[in-house]
Chains A and B, each alone.
Chain A
Amino acid sequence: MSDILEIFMSASFWAAAIRIATPLIFGVIGALICERAGVLNLGIEGIFTAGAMAGWMAVWLGAGLWGGVLVAALAGGFFGLIHAVLTVPLGLSQHVSGIGVTLFATSLSYFIYRTALPDVSSPPRIEAFQSLDIPVLSDLPFLGPALFQQTPLTFLALFLVAATAYVLYRTPLGLAIQAVGDNPAAVESQGLSVYGLRIGAIVAGSAIMALGGAFLTMSAFDAFFFGMVNGRGWICIALTVFASWRPGKALLGALLFGAFDAFQVRLQTEVGSFIPGQVFLMMPYILSIAALIVVARRADYPRALLVPYFKGQR
């Protein structure tokens, strides 16, 4: 028992939880923006991969780290635009289009990677982001290493949570996005463009999702390899429901998941000798499903989610 307590007392546990949560924060914020506007974006898993590859590739080809981040965002925006055109003006099934985008973005990323590096056996490394050294804060005992020794992308993710909450609740644009996800007719009858808002939200949301992928290759690891996204995108889709489409709760959800994951790794080393390792790997997912069951029954779905809108039609 005391061993378990010790896990929670260690600064490295909290630092790991935040590190694991970072890509999820990007992903869930991006998914939330799309869904608030009424469009489910199942392209997320592929957009993660594209962001991871594009960011890494840009840096490997000589761009600066922030240049790489920008390239990743652009790649995400590009795949978002494909999804937006298919689902908004054309009104196709959002599930089909989203899964299509995931397959397309994933295989295109692998294809480009393989074409650029035909016969490397171990993936080439780049000089990735290093943890920031914030004066005073990073040097605090316990809190410093637990919370403030992270790479700049983690702080960008936290900033995006606050910015998204601000935009959504305090600006005319945010009101319009919330409205278009609830009742597009309300938006049109107030003279705003339903298509413009939805397409914009999907492109912006997808760009943010791609940063989650970029974090993987440019902060967490320093290389790109196949299968590295490993379902993180899907987790974000579930976390969006868990968060009830609210940025603050989205952050909480991502951190909880990060904590579960960091905890299972440490628990494995404590008691791993008599319980198979796979049980621990399952744990964060089982806990997420349990949390979803509790929360999702009361979830406040955007009413127009999944419903295409056609002007001048009943």
Chain B
Amino acid sequence: MARPAKDAPVLLRLDGITKRFGALTANDGVCLDLKQGEILALLGENGAGKTTLMNILFGHYVADEGAVLVSRDGGEPAQLEPGSPHAALDARIGMVHQHFTLAENLSVLDNILLGTEKISALKSARTPARSKLEDLMTRSGLTVGLDMRVSQLSVGEKQRVEILKALYRDARVLVLDEPTAVLTPQESDTLFAILKKLAAAGLGIIFISHKLAEVMASSHRIAVLRGGAKVADLPTDACSQRQLAELMVGHEVSETVRDARTPGATLFILTGISAGEGREALYDVDLDLKSGEILGIAGVSGNGQTMLAQVISGLETPVAGEMRLEGSAFSHANARMMIDAGLARIPEDRHRDGIVGAMTVSENLAIETIRKPDCQRFGLLRFTAMRDKAKAMIDAYDIRCQGEDSPARLLSGGNIQKIVLARTLEGEPKVVLAAQPSRGLDVGATSEVYRRLLDARARGAGVLLISEDLDELMRLSDRIAVIHRGHLSAAEPTETLDRGTLGLRMAGHTMEAAE
């Protein structure tokens, strides 16, 4: 990949940034330079402090020590006023946050205009803004309908709006916090093509990612954080994926492999399930899951996976069809009946469906077993028992937090996922429904998730793995079925499939050929 010139000016300098939250040091004396035209990838485990560092750079947080220096119009870097996003924007820093910061009730155009005009102006100058944006969209290749309400956009489109927001303000430094975590593989490719174009045009870009392949393919330089401190800063050509994984985690990461196993009896069956309507509907879905196997459901998100997961977890009643777990029918089940029958789920949107942010880690860990005797007696909660159990789970699943009593919302994204995982697998469920289980997880945590899912399989549980990551599917699943526009293909053994055919089927090709 074309590198920026050796003598390219430094756009941005982080100088000894330290940030503490109580006893926890989230950033520990981090120094970092970004040159014009450079794409820098920032790596690190979940909770390593990547988002915190970027939030300091953008003024959301104030560093306890250290300074952010920015060069304005090619001059020497000068200190940026701490704690002011306004100052950061003024210095032409653009930020795409890990969680979208869009007003859903406004149009795309208004979201981009927000804050760019004088607040006392008597009229919003939409017309000139629109033509500037149209120009920007053709030049960058980021196209979105400007008059759409943000609530109607797909995640990929929202991502584009976030980048457009930064470009509209003529950003010279663009920071993207896990931009590809929720994008489909195709959308990610497009995004990186755009980023390379922008870097070639002179922007400095920092992006955070857990996907080592895309980091290797699309960055000039890689910085690694571990426990809040910078442990490596290398040109991309000089590192390998294996070496990066080790740098992040601090020890060697073992590859998880699926051993050969003969699956047991059929455990869970769906016959002729139809549910929902519109984009996320399901049509006549058949599926059978055996004990001791992992069944992969491949598909680009938005093809009915969410509805499938809802139906299976008892959150949505199908309009037709039948669902059987170990022989008993569950077509009009609710979530509690499914949990009692031995189903456990890892929801796709863990912030919304997985945790209660205001409740503590130990309460979140106990939430699905709250009616069992080890959590309550005579209708009263047993807090000491819950806490002890939480401590054990925090150790076993390596959940990084300030203790079992801290509110769950304070945890980093990856660690929230570990809470959900620990809770899901703790009760030794018969069927595990895992929707995008490694989304947003670091390499260490991902291999941990894989290991746990394979353990569940070895124990005789049936695992339904919904994912759009082909590597993950090929590595873990015994059989794979493809979901496209609400239709589920028949599952085939993984050995008989390859990435190419799966990719084509996910895009809907074989369906037509078969007819």
Query: Could you tell me which A residues sit within 8 Å of B by CB distance?
Result: 170-176, 178-179, 181-183, 185-192, 300, 302-303, 311-312, 314
Contact = CB atoms under 8 A, between A and B. Distances in A.
B409 A176 contact: no
B105 A191 contact: no
Contact of A189 (B97, B113, B116): B97
Given A172-B124, A173-B120, A188 B105 contact: no
A172 B117 CA distance: 6
A67 B511 CA distance: 76
B110 interface: yes
Contacts of B99: 185
17 contacts: A170-B123, A170-B124, A172-B117, A172-B118, A173-B119, A175-B114, A176-B119, A182-B105, A182-B106, A186-B101, A188-B85, A189-B95, A191-B85, A191-B88, A191-B89, A192-B114, A302-B105
Contact of A186 (B89, B111, B124): B111
Contacts of A185: 97, 99, 101
B412 to A, nearest CB: 9
Interface string B80-116: 0001111011100001010101111110001101111
B410 interface: yes
Which 10 pairs show the lowest CB-CB distances between chains A and B?
A190-B115, A191-B86, A179-B103, A172-B117, A182-B103, A189-B101, A191-B89, A185-B101, A186-B101, A182-B105
B122 interface: yes
B62 interface: yes
Contacts of A192: 86, 114-115, 119
Given A188-B60, A189-B97, A192-B119, A175 B105 contact: no
Given A172-B121, A312-B62, A187 B115 contact: yes
Contacts of B60: 188-189, 311-312
Given A171-B123, A172-B118, A178 B103 contact: yes
B283 interface: no
B125 to A, nearest CB: 9
Interface string B177-193: 00000000000000000
B104 A303 contact: yes
A60 B461 CA distance: 82
B198 to A, nearest CB: 19
Residue with the greatest number of chain B CB neighbours at <10 A, chosen from A174, A181, A312: A312
Contacts of B165: 190
Given A171-B121, A175-B113, A186 B103 contact: yes
A179 B121 contact: no
A176 B105 contact: no
Given A183-B102, A191-B88, 5 more contacts: A172-B113, A178-B103, A186-B111, A189-B85, A191-B85
Contacts of B104: 182-183, 303
B397 interface: no
A171 B124 CA distance: 5
B123 A314 contact: no
A313 B126 CA distance: 33
A52 B90 CA distance: 46
A314 B410 contact: yes
A189 B101 CA distance: 7
A162 to B, nearest CB: 14
A156 B60 CA distance: 42
B114 A179 contact: yes
A186 B123 contact: no
A190 B89 contact: yes
Nearest to B62: A312
Contacts of B110: 175, 179
Contacts of B117: 172
B114 A187 contact: yes
Interface of A, secondary structure class, is helix
B330 interface: no
Given A182-B106, A188-B85, A312-B60, A171 B101 contact: no
Given A178-B103, A185-B97, A191 B122 contact: no
Given A186-B101, A186-B103, A303-B104, A176 B120 contact: no
A188 B119 CA distance: 14
A93 to B, nearest CB: 14
A152 to B, nearest CB: 24
A46 B89 CA distance: 41
B410 A176 contact: no
Interface string B143-157: 000000000000000
Contacts of A314: 357, 409-410
Contacts of A302: 105
A186 B83 CA distance: 16
Contacts of A182: 103-106
A175 B115 CA distance: 9
Residue with the greatest number of chain A CB neighbours at <10 A, chosen from B86, B101, B116: B101
Contacts of A300: 105
A185 B58 CA distance: 13
Contacts of A179: 103, 105-106, 110-111, 114
Contacts of B102: 183, 186
Contacts of B95: 189
B350 to A, nearest CB: 14
A314 to B, nearest CB: 5
Contacts of A175: 106, 110, 113-114, 124
Contacts of A170: 123-124
A302 B116 CA distance: 22
Contacts of B86: 191-192
A175 B119 CA distance: 9
Contacts of A312: 55, 60-62, 83
B155 to A, nearest CB: 15
A171 B85 contact: no
Given A175-B106, A192-B114, A192-B119, A183 B101 contact: yes
A166 to B, nearest CB: 9
A199 to B, nearest CB: 14
A91 to B, nearest CB: 13
B112 to A, nearest CB: 9
Contacts of A183: 101-104
A187 B89 CA distance: 12
A302 B105 CA distance: 8
A182 B105 CA distance: 7
A167 to B, nearest CB: 9
Nearest to B86: A191
B119 A178 contact: no
A171 B122 contact: yes
A18 B306 CA distance: 50
A314 B410 CA distance: 6
A302 B106 CA distance: 11
Nearest to A183: B103
B115 to A, nearest CB: 3
A182 B86 CA distance: 20
Contacts of A186: 101-103, 111, 114
Contacts of A178: 103, 105-106
Nearest to B110: A175
A192 B117 CA distance: 11
Nearest to A185: B101
Contacts of B61: 312
